[in-house]
Amino acid sequence: MSLLKKIYLSLLVLISVASNAQEFEASLQLRPRYEYRNGYKNLISNGEEPTSFVSQRSRLNLNYNYEKLKTKLTFQNIRTWGDASTTTTTDKNGIAVFEAWAQYELNSKWYTRVGRQVLSYDNQRIFGEIDWAQQGQSHDAVVLTFKPTNNQLDLGFAFNANAENVIAPKTPYTINYKSMQYAWYQTKFSRVKMSLLFLNTGYEFEKSSNNLEVDFKQTFGTYLTFKEKKWDINFAIYGQSGKNTDKKVNAWYTGAFVGYGFTDNFKGGFGYELLSGKDQNDNSTVIKSFSPIFGTNHAFNGYMDYFYVGNHQNNIGLSDAYLKLNYTRAKWQFNLTPHFFSAPNTVLDSGSKKMDSYLGTEIDFTASYTVSKEVMAQAGYSQIFGSTTLERVKNIGSAASTNNWIWLMVSFSPRLFTSKKSI
């Protein structure tokens, strides 16, 4: 039986169950996005040509809720327009399960969620859905939640393997982390929210021939927010310790933002982030570069994704000072965010001389228009003005070239079916 037929039958079964259930909903998301990349992620080199394409996310969401039980099943297909023939009998990427979880309420304050699920906390700097990426990010995990008034404690656990093995594999598991445990606690004090996070991630590696080990890295810290009338302020600080592939980890991060609503339509703010790194002339084996782990990194440090989006790991770190300007009117929203990037650690030129710390300036402009409740159109333009230091760090491309990125995206999110009945 094909996967599409299985999905169709699953939908019919859930609808039939929902006729006697408390609540069932089926919704769809179709999200095509055009991109023009001319120096995206890396400075474009002389002689290289920009590229463009259309990608698309297609999701089917099935939600069921009855008394103490909630479930969610999300199928998705991610494609690039043209990656399969117009007469193809198979899809290049096929259909994948993005979410598949069940949540059960143990009592009025305790519940647990088991299965493939999104883990998203605070401003998504450490744990995020990465919704910008068409495929998103979800985890196979068990989460136990304690939620009394004005407080919440989440305890999460995950353990991964590449198959239903009969004996222990001879090669390390590298698809993801081998195991993960975390505790996240949030409390409210009037207009202040404080979150505490402790995350323990274990990665398997081959220490020696036929000797597999798991090293554990700890990420811990706090996130604070304050909101009152026109003010919107947040502050975060995290540290990292433990080991990674038999190397000691000693890294840290801090970030802050102060926003103010000048009018009902116009808001502005200033922010700063500092991610620790390592001098290029530091010969120690200690990992001093902070890693955002599972964060929605596209939302930070510039939309052109020069830093921490599948790159810039175990590097010189990053200093990012930025402004956020936001204007809304009716169904329109406009955002302008300039970034000033610099290296907090030493960068050396080809002659081993220390270079200037300035990496470059990026300007991000986005606009969105709410066509209707189910349709939204968005567009963006970004350009980075890199330095010779950025050229050296990236070891590719030319800062003298024009490096920009343009995108246009439309999201269609219709509700297909909903049922609310009592048994």
Tokens standing for residue 196: 């505490």
The dihedrals phi and psi of 141, each to the nearest 5 degrees, come to -155, 165
Computed over every residue of the chain, the mean pLDDT equals 93
> Please, is 121 exposed, middle or buried when counting C-beta atoms within 10 Å of its C-beta (0-12, 13-18, 19+)?
buried
The whole-angstrom separation of Cα 298 and Cα 133 is 9
The whole-angstrom separation of Cα 117 and Cα 5 is 24
- Across 60-74, 140-154, 408-422, least confident range: 408-422
Query: Rg of the chain's alpha carbons, rounded to an integer?
Result: 23
The whole-angstrom separation of Cα 397 and Cα 258 is 35
- Confidence (pLDDT) at 23: 94
- Sign, Cα dihedral of 255, 306, 381, 98: negative
- Confidence (pLDDT) at 3: 53
- Confidence (pLDDT) at 6: 54
Q: Map residue 299 onto helix, strand or coil.
A: helix
pLDDT at residue 121 above 80? yes
Q: Predicted confidence band at 5 (pLDDT cuts at 50, 70, 90)?
A: low
Q: Predicted confidence band at 377 (pLDDT cuts at 50, 70, 90)?
A: very high
Count CB-CB contacts under 10 A for residue 325.
15
The whole-angstrom separation of Cα 183 and Cα 126 is 13
User: How far is residue 101 CA from its own chain's centroid?
Assistant: 20
End-to-end CA distance of the chain: 33
Domain ranges of the chain: 30-54+92-419
Give mean pLDDT, residues 176-202: 96
Which of residues 195 and 4 earns the better pLDDT score?
195
pLDDT at residue 264 above 60? yes
Q: What is the pLDDT of residues 81-90, one digit of tens each?
A: 999 999 888 8
Q: Predicted confidence band at 2 (pLDDT cuts at 50, 70, 90)?
A: low
- Confidence (pLDDT) at 421: 74
Q: Which amino acid is at 292?
A: P
pLDDT at residue 11 above 60? no
Q: What is the pLDDT of residues 345-357, one digit of tens each?
A: 999 999 999 999 9
CB 209 within 8 A of CB 175: no
- Sign, Cα dihedral of 367, 369, 373, 375: negative
Count CB-CB contacts under 10 A for residue 294.
24
Give mean pLDDT, residues 229-253: 96
Q: Where are the beta strands (DSSP E) in 1-68?
A: 23-38, 51-66
- Confidence (pLDDT) at 20: 53
The percent of residues in the chain predicted with pLDDT above 70, rounded, is 95
pLDDT at residue 16 above 80? no
Domain 30-54+92-419 in this protein, CATH class: mainly beta
The DSSP line for 311-329 is --TTSS-EEEEEEEEEEEE
pLDDT at residue 15 above 60? no
How do beta strands 23-38 and 51-66 pair? Answer: antiparallel
Torsion of CA 10, 14, 16, 19, to 10 degrees: -170
Give mean pLDDT, residues 217-227: 97
- Confidence (pLDDT) at 208: 87
Q: Predicted confidence band at 190 (pLDDT cuts at 50, 70, 90)?
A: confident
pLDDT at residue 94 above 70? yes
Q: What is the pLDDT of residues 124-149, one digit of tens each?
A: 999 999 999 999 999 999 999 999 99
| Best CA proximity match to 274, nearest among 366, 201, 342, 193 | 342
pLDDT at residue 32 above 80? yes
pLDDT at residue 29 above 90? yes
The whole-angstrom separation of Cα 168 and Cα 267 is 56
- Confidence (pLDDT) at 209: 85
CB 423 within 8 A of CB 20: yes
Q: What is the pLDDT of residues 304-314, one digit of tens each?
A: 999 999 899 88
Q: Predicted confidence band at 210 (pLDDT cuts at 50, 70, 90)?
A: confident
